[in-house]
Each structure stands twice: as C-alpha cells, then as structure tokens.
Amino acid sequence: MKEIVVLGIETSCDETSASIVINGRRVLSNVINSQIDIHTLYGGVVPEIASRCHTEVINQVTKEALKQAGKTFKDIDVISCTYGPGLVGALLVGVSYAKGLSYALNKPLVGVNHIEGHIAGNYITYNKLEPPFLCLVISGGHTHLVHVKDYCNFEVIGKTRDDAIGEAFDKVARVVGLGYPGGPKVEQKAKEGVPSINLPKANIDNLDFSFSGIKTAVINLDHKDPNINKADLCASFEKVATDMLTQNTINAFKQINNENNKKIDKIVLAGGVSANSYIREQFEKIGKEQKIDVYFPELKLCTDNAAMIASAGYYNYIEGKISDLKLNAIPNLKIGG
C-alpha cells in the first residue's frame, strides 16, 4: 500500500496544531500550541485573541511538526485543514495558511469537518477500528450521536437542543468558583464529593439532549445557598449529565440495530469531554453489562489536535473529496448533511 503523507492543520478554537500522519493511522508528529494560559485570564476563550495567537505561531508549529516527523514540505502528499465548525476568525487562519501551502507546493487541499476529525481520532488510537459504529461526540461545542456508516458517511441521530455538554461543565465550574477551563476542574472537584443532591433530568421523547435544565438547577441551588457543598454539587451534576449521555447512547444503539440489516456492535466516544474519567467508567460499565465494545480515544487525542484532522483528511482524500482554493471557513458547519 502506497504511503500517503498528510499534513493536518487545526485552528478551530484556541489550539494551534499541525501534524504529519501516514495513511490516516500512523502519527509521525502532532504539535499543539495551547492558549489556555492566555484565555484563563478572561475566564474563557476570547475569539479575537485566539485568532491573533494562531497567526503568530502557525508557521512555527507547522515547521516543528515537519521537523519532528523527519519530513520536508516536498514529502507532503496532501494538506488537510479544519474549515468548520468553530470560531470564524480562528478557522480562517488555518484555512488561509493551508490554501497558501496548497498553492505554493501544488499539493491537493482537503477541507475537514472538525466533528469528523474528532471521530477519526479513534482510528489513530485503534489501528483496526473500522465503521460502522455509533459515535457519541461530546465537547465544548457539541453533543452529537452519530451513526458512522462509513469513513465519510455520517448520520446525526441525536444532538443537544441547547448547551453542549462541555459548555454546561464550564458554566457549572464558573458558578461554583472553579474557573476556566471548567471540565477538568469540575471532574476533580466531583471526586471529593458524593452525588447526593437531586437534580432534574431532561425528559425528551427522542434521542436529543438538553443540559440547560440541569445547569440552571445548579445555578439556582448555589444562589439559594452559597454554602452548599460544592463537591457534592459537582458530583451530582456529573452523575446526572452522564446518566443522560449513557441512556440516550444505549437507546440509539438499539434503535440502529432494530432498523438496519447491517448490525453495529461498537460504541465510540470522541471529543474533549470523552477524557472525563467518570464518563469513561460509566460507559465501560454499560458496555460490559450490555456486551458492547466501547472505544475511547487516548487522552491526548480527545482535545483539539491536528492528527485527527490529518486522519479524517486522508479518508476524504481517498474518497476523492478534494477542496479547491475557494475553500472558506464555515463556523456553523454541520455533519451528516
């Protein structure tokens, strides 16, 4: 099999990343420049600052990725970049840079959907993982149940109606005084408490999610009693939110197998929130009970990175999905058409 060397570029939010990946699976380098320390000063990501930081470092990050991989620009076969969803200014930095490289080097350009990239991160972690499967994408901006029918064929069968799960974690962290980034801090605080506080669970008659109710309940309880046990509050939030994730995912798994002749036997998690240890434990438990194989990306591939974009770019490329130099950033890009 001919080796196809893909340069991936990711700038959808506050990480500037470049990666060299062979045939969508073998990572030679994955360089990430994080802006967390900068945005922590403001309690969250400031879009204008994120864009400026991407512009300042993207060239150095890409050169470092090439250096670590032992490659030069001449060795690159395909250039892939995230073109949405994400912050429009941040996306434009990566898209513009990738287009410039594509033109200067006369190499094919492949625009990648950021959500598809998160899913592809599992192909790197599990070399033999192949579609079809059900994927739960959980991140700061997304909560999606995706039927992955093939490498480039996706159907969204459930999604959040309001806050994404990661956004809910961040808002809870802010309310209880933990600061930014919220997800890891709520997870850590929850380990000190017990899920003893009654919180509402959204009652939706399909596979969609809603986290606004539980988020509002946490806010109201904290405002009503500022001395409420913060660890118990975080543990209770984490448990109820996770219960909603596991319940809908199992329901979706059963629905797909009831409706399709081609059965699926795998559940895959993706996105930054899939790094949460409690969520992983609960999905592993459900998997054992239901006799379903459950997959998680390795921790360094959960958050935004260019290796996942290079992997998804490879599968788009071999499917003939090539972009032209009119490629533009689409901040609200959907998956599954």
- The C-alpha atoms of residue 6 and residue 73 are separated, in whole angstroms, by 11
> For residue 40, what pLDDT is reported?
85
Domain boundaries, the chain: 5-122+301-318, 130-299
User: Are the C-beta atoms of 78 and 21 separated by less than 8 Å?
Assistant: no
Domain 5-122+301-318 annotated CATH 1.10.357.10: no
- The model's pLDDT over 223-249, given as tens digits with 9 standing for 90+, comes to 999 999 999 999 999 999 999 999 999
Q: What is the chain's mean pLDDT, rounded? A: 95
- The C-alpha atoms of residue 228 and residue 221 are separated, in whole angstroms, by 8
Tell me if 5-122+301-318 shares its fold with 130-299. Answer: yes
Residue 220, number of CB atoms within 10 A of its CB? 11
pLDDT at 281 exceeding the cut of 80: yes
User: Are the C-beta atoms of 108 and 78 separated by less than 8 Å?
Assistant: yes
Of 307, 268, 312, 267, nearest to 115 by C-alpha is 312
User: Are the C-beta atoms of 73 and 105 separated by less than 8 Å?
Assistant: yes
pLDDT at 75 exceeding the cut of 90: yes
Provide the pairing of β-strand 266-270 with 293-295: parallel
pLDDT at 204 exceeding the cut of 90: no
Q: How far apart are the first and last CA of the chain?
A: 31
- The C-alpha atoms of residue 272 and residue 81 are separated, in whole angstroms, by 19
Burial profile 7-18: b = 16 or more Cβ within 10 angstroms, e = fewer: bbbbbbbbbbbb
Polymer length in residues for the chain = 337
**DSSP states along 77-136:** -EEEEEEESS-HHHHHHHHHHHHHHHHHHT--EEEEEHHHHHHHHHHHHSTT--S-EEEE
Where does the pLDDT of residue 260 fall: very low under 50, low under 70, confident under 90, or very high at 90 and above? low
The whole-model pTM stands at: 0.95
Mean pLDDT of 109-121: 98
> For residue 37, what pLDDT is reported?
85
User: Are the C-beta atoms of 203 and 244 separated by less than 8 Å?
Assistant: no
Work out the percent of the chain whose per-residue pLDDT is above 90. Answer: 90
Q: CA dihedral defined by 282, 285, 290, 294, rounded to 10 degrees? A: 70
CATH number of this structure's domain 130-299, picked from the four choices 3.90.1150.10, 3.30.1330.40, 1.10.3720.10, 3.30.420.40: 3.30.420.40
Contacts of 292 (CB under 8 A, 6+ apart): 253, 265, 266, 267, 286
Where does the pLDDT of residue 261 fall: very low under 50, low under 70, confident under 90, or very high at 90 and above? low
Where does the pLDDT of residue 148 fall: very low under 50, low under 70, confident under 90, or very high at 90 and above? very high
pLDDT at 87 exceeding the cut of 70: yes
pLDDT at 282 exceeding the cut of 90: yes
- The model's pLDDT over 6-51, given as tens digits with 9 standing for 90+, comes to 999 999 999 999 999 999 999 999 999 988 888 888 888 898 999 9
> For residue 337, what pLDDT is reported?
60
